[in-house]
Amino acid sequence: MPELLTVTDVSAGACCTPLVREPLSAEEAEQLAVTMKALADPARLRLLSIVAASENTEACVCDLIEPVGLSQPTVSHHLKILTAAGFLTRSKRGTWAYYALVPGALDRVSKLLVAS
């Protein structure tokens, strides 16, 4: 049935712009939006930035409280969100927790925005 196939193609492909690769599915977009929400906060961006600027891209939680000017529970809350979103990993050594950057955690978004 070539006519039917042609009709289907036109309705799916719309009027003008051909796609050169597969866009995000609805499910992928939902997941990625959750990840982006973790970044859409000034305190979390500063915390992530301090970790990224630290030697070996790792920082003790004790070094993160003063620069952002928030209480330790608030800082811990933000760090938990960043860890759950896959931007940081947490390890405990002695008294303190250390947070390390996960390299390439933003790759999914970068790839989305870079022309292939």
Binding-site member from 46, 72, 79, 91 for a second copy (CB under 8 A): 46
70 binds a second copy, rule: CB under 8 A: no
Q: Count the site residues for a second copy by CB under 8 A.
A: 54
52 binds a second copy, rule: CB under 8 A: yes
Phi, psi of 20 (to 5 degrees): -100, -10
21 binds a second copy, rule: CB under 8 A: yes
Residues whose CB is less than 8 angstroms from the CB of residue 54 and which lie 6 or more positions away in sequence, other chains included? 63
Phi, psi of 58 (to 5 degrees): -140, 140
For residue 112, what are the CA distances in angstroms to 36, 90, 93, 104, 106?
Answer: 13, 27, 37, 13, 10
Residues β-bridged to residue 91: 98
Binding-site member from 10, 33, 74, 84 for a second copy (CB under 8 A): 33
Binding residues for a second copy, per CB under 8 A? 12, 14-24, 26, 29-30, 32-33, 36-37, 39-43, 45-46, 48-50, 52-55, 57-60, 62-63, 66-67, 87, 96, 101, 103, 105-106, 109-110, 112-116
